[in-house]
Amino acid sequence: MSSMSDVAVGAAFTAAESAALRGDFAILSRTVRGGKPLVYLDSGATSQKPRQMLEAERAFYEQHNAAVHRGAHQLAEEATDAYEGARATVARFIGAQTQEVVFTKNATEALNLVAYSFSNAGATGAMDGVDPALAAKFALGQGDEIVITEMEHHSNLVPWQELARRTGATLRWIGVTDDGRLNLGDLDTVITDRTKVVAFTHVSNVLGTINPVDVIVERARAVGALTVLDACQSVPHLAVDVVDLGVDFVAFSGHKMFGPLGIGVLWGRYDLLKAMPPFLTGGSMIEVVRMEATTYADPPQRFEAGVPMAAQAVGLAAACDYLTDLGMARVTAQEQVLTQALLAGLAQRPWVRVVGPLDGNDRSGAVSFVVDGIHPHDVGQILDDAGVAVRVGHHCAWPLHRRMGLTATTRASFAAYNTFAEVDALLTALDRVPVVFGTVI
Amino acid sequence: MDLYQEIILEHSKRPLHAGLREPFNAQVHHVNPTCGDEVTLRVQLSGQGRSAVIADVSYDALGCSISTAATSVLADEVIGHSVKEALSSFAAMRKMLTSKGADPGDEDEIGDGVAFAGVSKYPARVKCALLGWMAFTDALTQAGVDIAEISASRTSPSGSPSTVLNNTTAINPTQVEPRRTHD
């Protein structure tokens, strides 16, 4: 189910459809660096925003703005309805129950929320009243193990390192092969009876690799470990159904999927969310507050302390609707043909080496590469001079780069609005790189 | 684009004074967390205090053309010069790099460093050009050069020739650090 070949592929966009779609993103028609048309190939870092999403946010502020879940005036009711309606839309988009969707400020906070549940569960009384079998899943200490992978973004790596440090548990990881896939041969030796949680990425933000979620979940379930999926690079690009995936938690960000900055999503199985102690505390997340102690609201409110980001939630729901209208199968297909075109173009340049799967199987539209003898910052600078925006650096996956024997890479990443002409623009600009630096005569 | 001047490309391909050498008074290791670039840099001084002469700067750098070339130029500019002169060069270099294109640089102060004037138009790259310099000033401190004392001397009523050292008050990473590009 996690494999591209199992995803309904649909058809890439026609030229007319593509032009219409690009018309929704005003920024795509601007110029950069002295009048050059912007070629935006950095959607893996953050996507651009369609007019429909911006209008939804604006309409919230202009017509319904009030503090959600507070007050009894009409605007407060409308704002609350808008916020909770947005939750329902986002839930539908990922095949979830509405009450299982928690809004966070970003995916990083969502992952930290889960990681802190384990250490917070160790506090006196934190799990009182919770089914002992469920409470035991969150009990973490010496002798227990946390499993991640070597291809994680720092946001799904550092929180688990820190959790290990706080609890005395041991951090272990699944390695990466030379061709940029998880070393599943390690699976049974890394995930064992000592494993309490397995946190891994659905799609690598560097390699583009789509990981076999079902295989990892099967092993984790066999040993009774919880599973946490970083879906930041999958939800914007592939049809994702959280129930089909079989994991326990899924985290993703809004801004990479045409939504606004400042909002992320944690999805979790409701029985688990219900058992979990809060992460951030304060207003909104309470049931009864006395000077001596406080009881907590049920999920999702338990995890949404403070006045929530209602406008961003409304914007994110509009982004989900936008993607639904495009059709996720067609979004996937469009990015897939562009990825194939880019991989084919790079393959014709012997001075370029792609880091990650070279074929299109189980691969998403993040394509990282190195140019012989030239630092990625210099590659990115030459591309930028031609108006081509890519990401350079370690893409917040430093251990992965170290594993691949690299300091940094250049990454092009696609979204639904990209075109073949933009792939050509990238390749043309790339051909200037060895000329400028004199590495090819 | 005016970023990749021939001088920069030349220094980046054949960096001067590269490699780690003995003897040395101090060695530091600096990293650019944005891109993972690293430099290990050693300083050897002869003499004491402000008038000490920089006998050697040796380094092992892993980085882009801008950071490699900047470290090469730095080594070439400061070796054989006094600490005072080196800090003056640093101040002039930093002033140019953070000028957003307004300051073309003074060749008398920074030599080949003027080739980096174009870098100041690209805020994300200023850190690359300063990586070696930050390591160098840190190494001076580690080697016992009291930069705070030197910079404080500008308020000295003695009229000592400290004007070129005034700018050393800016040896504060928070002031010279350009915007970063994390994710």
* A308 and A192 inside one domain: yes
Residue A297 has pLDDT above 50, yes or no: yes
pLDDT (0 to 100) of residue A70: 85
Helix H or strand E segment including A113: helix A107-120
Residue B103, domain member (yes or no) = yes
Tokens of A361: 């199987």
Q: Which long-range contacts (CB under 8 A, 24 or more apart) does B106-114 make?
A: B110/B73, B110/B77, B111/B73, B111/B76, B111/B77, B112/B7, B112/B11, B112/B73, B112/B76, B112/B77, B113/B70, B113/B73, B113/B74, B113/B77, B113/B89
Query: Mean per-residue pLDDT for A199-219?
Result: 98
pLDDT (0 to 100) of residue B151: 47
- Measured in angstroms, the CA of A143 and the nearest CA of chain B are apart by 33
Query: Mean per-residue pLDDT for A360-371?
Result: 92
Query: DSSP characters for A197-221?
Result: EEEEESB-TTT-BBP-HHHHHHHHH
Helix H or strand E segment including A302: none
pLDDT (0 to 100) of residue B50: 73
* A59 and A153 inside one domain: yes
Q: Is B170 on the interface with A (CB under 8 A)?
A: no
Name the nearest CA neighbour of B133 among B173, B84, B81, B165. B173
Q: Is B13 on the interface with A (CB under 8 A)?
A: yes
Which of A391, A395, A407 has the CB atom closest to B37's CB atom?
A407
Residue B181, domain member (yes or no) = no
Which of B4, B62, B183 has the CB atom closest to A395's CB atom?
B183
A264-268 and A286-289 beta bridge pairing: unpaired
The count of other CB atoms within 10 Å of the CB of residue A267 is: 30
* A178 and A320 inside one domain: yes
Contact B183 A377 (CB under 8 A): no
Residue A303, domain member (yes or no) = yes
Residues 94-123 of B with CB under 8 A from A: 122
* A125 and A234 inside one domain: yes
Tokens of A249: 């938690």
pLDDT (0 to 100) of residue B69: 95
Residue B160 has pLDDT above 70, yes or no: no
Q: In the 8-state DSSP scheme, what is residue A87?
A: H
Rg (CA), chain B: 15
Query: Residue B180 phi/psi, 5° resolution?
Result: -110, 165
A46 within 8 A of A34, measured Cβ to Cβ: no
Query: Higher pLDDT residue, A64 or B154?
Result: A64
Residue B182, domain member (yes or no) = no
3-state secondary structure (DSSP) of residue A353:
strand
Contact B66 A398 (CB under 8 A): no
- Chain B positions touching A436 (Cβ under 8 A) are 4, 9
How many domains does chain B divide into? 1
Residue A61 has pLDDT above 70, yes or no: yes
Q: Is B64 on the interface with A (CB under 8 A)?
A: yes
Contact B1 A391 (CB under 8 A): no
Q: Is B35 on the interface with A (CB under 8 A)?
A: yes
pLDDT (0 to 100) of residue B19: 96
B68 within 8 A of B15, measured Cβ to Cβ: yes
Residue A5 has pLDDT above 80, yes or no: no
Contact A436 B183 (CB under 8 A): no
Residue B179 has pLDDT above 50, yes or no: no
Residue A49, domain member (yes or no) = no
Residue A46, domain member (yes or no) = no
- Chain A positions touching B181 (Cβ under 8 A) are 393
Query: Mean per-residue pLDDT for B76-81?
Result: 95
Residue A230 has pLDDT above 70, yes or no: yes
pLDDT (0 to 100) of residue B137: 94
Contact B183 A437 (CB under 8 A): no
pLDDT (0 to 100) of residue A202: 98
pLDDT (0 to 100) of residue B72: 96
Residue A45, domain member (yes or no) = no
Query: Mean per-residue pLDDT for A365-378?
Result: 95
Residue B1, domain member (yes or no) = no
Residue A270 has pLDDT above 80, yes or no: yes
A409-413 and A366-371 beta bridge pairing: antiparallel
Closest-approach residue (CA) in chain B for A438 = B9
Which of A376, A408, A436 has the CB atom closest to B4's CB atom?
A436
pLDDT (0 to 100) of residue B33: 86
Return mean pLDDT, chain B.
81
Name the band, by pLDDT with cuts 50, 70 and 90, for residue A9.
low
Residues 354-383 of A with CB under 8 A from B: 374-378, 381-382
Angstrom distance (rounded) from CA A174 to CA A314: 38
* A331 and A314 inside one domain: no
Contact B9 A376 (CB under 8 A): no
pLDDT (0 to 100) of residue B124: 87
pLDDT (0 to 100) of residue A161: 98
Q: Give the best residue of B64, B67, B126, B179 to mutate against chain A (max A CB count within 10 A).
A: B64
Q: What are the C-alpha distances in Å from A245 to residues A67, A147, A336?
A: 35, 18, 21
Residue A106 has pLDDT above 70, yes or no: yes
A195-201 and A170-174 beta bridge pairing: unpaired
A217 within 8 A of A249, measured Cβ to Cβ: no
Q: Is B23 on the interface with A (CB under 8 A)?
A: no
Residues of A catalogued as catalytic: 396
pLDDT one-digit tens code per residue, A375-399:
999 999 999 999 999 999 999 999 9
pLDDT (0 to 100) of residue A197: 98
Of A278-287, A370-379, B110-119, least confident by mean pLDDT is: B110-119
pLDDT (0 to 100) of residue A336: 96
Contact A436 B3 (CB under 8 A): no
Residue A435 has pLDDT above 70, yes or no: yes
How many CA atoms, within 13 angstroms, populate the side-chain half-sphere of residue A298? Answer: 4
- Measured in angstroms, the CA of A375 and the nearest CA of chain B are apart by 5
Q: Residue A105 sits in a domain of what CATH number?
A: 3.40.640.10
- Chain A positions touching B63 (Cβ under 8 A) are 375
pLDDT (0 to 100) of residue B34: 80
Residue A257, domain member (yes or no) = yes
Residue A440 has pLDDT above 70, yes or no: no
How many A×B Cβ pairs under 8 Å?
Answer: 54
Residue B148 has pLDDT above 70, yes or no: no
- Measured in angstroms, the CA of B179 and the nearest CA of chain A are apart by 15
* A123 and A272 inside one domain: yes
Highest averaged pLDDT of the listed ranges A290-299, A354-363, B113-122: A290-299
Residue B36, domain member (yes or no) = yes
Its domain, for residue A141, covers 54-324
Q: Give the best residue of B31, B35, B37 to mutate against chain A (max A CB count within 10 A).
A: B35
Residue A143, domain member (yes or no) = yes
Contact A381 B9 (CB under 8 A): no
Total length of chain B: 183
Name the band, by pLDDT with cuts 50, 70 and 90, for residue A173.
very high
Residue B157 has pLDDT above 60, yes or no: no
* A77 and A93 inside one domain: yes
Q: Residue B93 sits in a domain of what CATH number?
A: 3.90.1010.10
Q: Is A408 on the interface with B (CB under 8 A)?
A: yes
Closest-approach residue (CA) in chain A for B126 = A377
Query: Mean per-residue pLDDT for A359-388?
Result: 94
> pTM score, two decimals?
0.90
Q: Does ipTM surpass 0.85 in this model?
A: no
Name the nearest CA neighbour of B12 among B128, B111, B122, B177. B128
B4 within 8 A of A436, measured Cβ to Cβ: yes
Over pLDDT 70: what percentage of chain B? 80
**CB proximity list for A244: less than 8 A, separation 6 or greater:** A1, A95
Query: Mean per-residue pLDDT for B172-183?
Result: 39
pLDDT (0 to 100) of residue A71: 81
Residue A47, domain member (yes or no) = no
Which of B1, B35, B65 has the CB atom closest to A393's CB atom?
B35
* A26 and A108 inside one domain: no
Q: What is the dihedral of CA A295, A296, A298, A302, to 10 degrees?
A: 180
- Chain B positions touching A381 (Cβ under 8 A) are 1, 3-4, 122, 125
pLDDT (0 to 100) of residue A281: 97
pLDDT (0 to 100) of residue B51: 83
Residue B25, domain member (yes or no) = yes
Its domain, for residue B164, covers 6-176
* A202 and A240 inside one domain: yes
Query: Residue B5 phi/psi, 5° resolution?
Result: -65, 150
Query: Higher pLDDT residue, B101 or A89?
Result: A89
Angstrom distance (rounded) from CA A323 to CA A248: 24
Contact A378 B66 (CB under 8 A): yes
Name the band, by pLDDT with cuts 50, 70 and 90, for residue A62.
very high
Which stretches within B25-160 are classed as H helix? Answer: 65-78, 83-97, 107-110, 123-142, 147-152
Last residue of one domain, picked from the residues A324, A348, A379: A324
Closest-approach residue (CA) in chain A for B125 = A377
Q: Residue A300, preceding bond cis, omega within 30 degrees? A: yes
Residue B63, domain member (yes or no) = yes
Query: Mean per-residue pLDDT for A297-318?
Result: 97
A104 within 8 A of A113, measured Cβ to Cβ: yes
Residue B178 has pLDDT above 60, yes or no: no
* A346 and A386 inside one domain: yes
E strand segments, A294-416: 294-296, 352-355, 366-371, 388-389, 391-393, 409-413
Q: Is A255 on the interface with B (CB under 8 A)?
A: no
* A31 and A85 inside one domain: no
* A21 and A72 inside one domain: no
Residue A146 has pLDDT above 90, yes or no: yes
Q: Residue A415 sits in a domain of what CATH number?
A: 3.90.1150.10
Contact A381 B63 (CB under 8 A): no
Residue B105, domain member (yes or no) = yes
Q: Give the best residue of A158, A205, A378 to mutate against chain B (max B CB count within 10 A).
A: A378
- Measured in angstroms, the CA of B65 and the nearest CA of chain A are apart by 7
pLDDT (0 to 100) of residue B109: 86
How many domains does chain A divide into? 2
Rg (CA), chain A: 22
Total length of chain A: 441
